[in-house]
Amino acid sequence: MKSHNSPFAANDFCAKKTLAANTIMPNVFVHKNVRHVPNAQFPTNTGFTLLELLIALSLSALVMLMLAMGMNTVLKEWTRSSNRLDDSLEKVLVLLQIERALEGAFPHAYLNSDENKKYLFFEGEEKQLAWVSTVSPGRHSGLTAWQLLPDDEETGVQIRIVPAFASDPTERLAENATVVTALEGYKAYFEYLYVDEKITEDTKWVKKWSAQKRQGLPNAVRVRLDSDDEAMDSLEIVAVIRAYQHQKFRRVKP
């Protein structure tokens, strides 16, 4: 029987004690580490405060209001630009029609029954003009008498149109013509060009032209449109008349 005081027994006792210590200590260390873990490692979701929500809603409403105001401004400017474009196109179309009618001016001869004499029809002054043209707005056959003069209230240009037939169209232009007022806000001024057939350098712009006296038409007509409104630009066209002379009449120099 072995004694408890043997060295082997002492060694066994020490080994068991060391093993027991190694087995218990890790549990103690783990327990301490878990107990001292900071709270920041386990965050909690608290959500938005009422003040933050109110600020966010206010900013959203402000942004939407600014967008709405911007869109409204853009739409108004677009509408104004569209209206200006429509007005400009209308003016251009009217001027082109007048230019075509002047370029198609025809030396229309009619018989004056009182004098039993033939005259050519073209009466041009500084602020009004009447002539016969091969151009008709409705593309009707035959010659058309045109007249441009100030509107009754001088707020635009009055355009009168009537079939020319074979007589003097002056009376029918005053009583039976189709009347259209265009180029509102403008006043029309006319000038008439004379070019000598033999001396082409001999040219002259005059403010009156009567075919009864000149026995022919001018070589060109200049139409200038002025407005009292500074925002409206002045407009000008020059229409060249090719059929300025009748074969039975000799044109007189002004």
pLDDT tens-digit profile of 21-30? 444 444 444 4
Please tell me the distance from the alpha carbon of residue 152 to that of residue 76, in angstroms, as a whole number: 34
Q: Taking the complete model, does pTM exceed 0.75, yes or no?
A: no
* Residue 51 domain-assigned (yes or no): no
Domain that holds residue 220: 97-240
* Residue 171 domain-assigned (yes or no): yes
CB 239 within 8 A of CB 99: yes
Residue whose C-alpha is closest to residue 150's, from 102, 185, 193, 192 = 185
Q: What is the pLDDT of residue 43?
A: 54
* Residue 12 domain-assigned (yes or no): no
* Residue 154 domain-assigned (yes or no): yes
Q: At CB < 8 A and 24+ separation, what contacts does 43-49 make?
A: none
* Per-chain mean pLDDT for the chain: 82
Cross-strand bridge partners of residue 167: none
* Residue 34 domain-assigned (yes or no): no
* Residue 91 domain-assigned (yes or no): no
- Total domain count, the chain: 1
* Residue 48 domain-assigned (yes or no): no
Residues 6+ apart with CB under 8 A from 150: 127, 128, 157, 158, 187, 188
Percentage of the residues of the chain whose pLDDT score is greater than 90 = 48
